[in-house]
Chains A and B, each alone.
Chain A
Amino acid sequence: MPKTLLLIGTRKGLFLIEGEDRRDWTVRGPFCEGWPIYHAIHDPESGTIYAAAASEWHGAGVWRSGDLGESWELSSEGLSYEDDGGLKLSKVSGLTAAHGRLLAGAESVGIFESRDGGGAWSLLSTLEGQPGSESWNDPGSQPPGHLGVPAILPDAGDPKHLWAIVQGYGIFETTDDGETWTPRNKGLRADWPLENPEVGYCVHKLVRSPVDPERFYQQNHVGMHRSDDGGHSWTEITEGLPTEFGFAAAAHPHDRDTFYVIPLDPGHGRCMPDGHASVWRTRDAGSSWQRLDQGLPERDAHLGVLREGMAIDADESAGLYFGTSTGQVFASTDEGVSWDEIASYLPGISSVEVATVA
């Protein structure tokens, strides 16, 4: 019977949580020698697990396992700005596997690609010349924990078509594999003065509906937004949520109007409001929102969830999974209506992804 595999990236290595029929979960790990993992994925084409990591001591690299975690290799070959204007690579995050290649976002701002399954990497683009690029690698203008390019979205039909988030600046789209880019932030709200309205938006999470390629959602620093035209313009849909701030978000696999988000207090605490753990769902593209909390702690649960901290599977009754910055993992097999805590004592969680494996 196929297993559901959760890939849990933490501050102290990668953990794998496996369950048959999305029950009886078992935890394996830590893997990757306890290196901080910023994002981990399973490539369904090759069956390989990739984990983007950065060690304080030994630098950044991408771990890979072709046997579901039994053995691991680390490579950083080519993950460097050696010949590119003094840029320094401190972290890799935002992994994407599509069209037979692997992409990784980097700090300083850049996108690297590997066409040999993560063995060797080369620089695809630094988004040079885009508005904001003159300052986005200046440490003085970066927030703590800056990830550069924390996420890259591929297009299922066109390998040269990508969207990338530049942290603190917004979304950029390319249709020529990174040769040229266009900012896609029209209609977003900012609560700070902008020198150039094309950029300056702190986009935390961008997701695309699997059933409608024109439909995108994003959670950013000041609200939830929806796009119905492939990201060319955005409409705010925050009303009805307890806060405008949050990181994690997920789009329903079969319904373009259903979308999930985890609002957090917008101050420095960045925990679920009032200590009441909740996921919020819309079924009408953001016109109304419902709190989903059955099985989640309702008091004294000051939980945070980071930008890659929630995942959704493609089951007919979609499964939702989220991990907290204090090491709990919660799972729902009924589209978020009810939840179980399936791991309680992991290190702080950076990312959650879900895959089905044989």
Chain B
Amino acid sequence: MADVHLPSTLRPLFPDLPRQLELEAGTVEEAIAQLDERWPGLKDRLCEPGPALRRHINVYVDRERAELDAPLSKSSRVDVIAAISGGCQEPSRHVARAPRAR
């Protein structure tokens, strides 16, 4: 089961959504689809039509930056990050940071 970690900004939007859960999925896109089944609308918060990850949403699989088609294994760790932003109004700047190792 992939070990999926979600950003704190999602929790207030979806009742009972945990920060961490385990999923059986072949790709990042499949994992997000499963989340969307349980919490309808969640995919819209992470993905644009296409689909593609939103500009300021970063996904890491085993600490490597990943896109929706990235494969997952049973032991994968998936970190979904709302990019760290701020300090400038226009143009928007953001810095993505890799998650800490457990």
Contact = CB atoms under 8 A, between A and B. Distances in A.
Q: Say whether A associates with B.
A: yes
A24 interface: no
A235 to B, nearest CB: 36
A118 to B, nearest CB: 13
A33 B82 CA distance: 14
8 contacts: A33-B13, A55-B9, A56-B92, A57-B56, A74-B13, A74-B41, A75-B41, A77-B44
Nearest to B94: A56
A56 B48 CA distance: 12
Contacts of B41: 74-77
B12 A56 contact: no
Contact of A82 (B46, B49, B90): B49
Contacts of A80: 44, 49
Given A75-B41, A76-B41, A82-B49, A58 B83 contact: no
Nearest to B7: A57
Interface in A55-79: 55-59, 61, 74-77
**What size tier do the contact residues of chain B reach?**
20 to 34
Given A75-B41, A144-B90, A59 B9 contact: no
Contacts of B56: 56-57
B45 interface: yes
Contacts of A57: 7, 9, 45, 54, 56-57, 82-83, 85
Interface in B25-77: 40-41, 44-46, 48-49, 54-57
A101 interface: no
A88 B54 CA distance: 12
A144 B89 CA distance: 11
Contacts of B92: 56
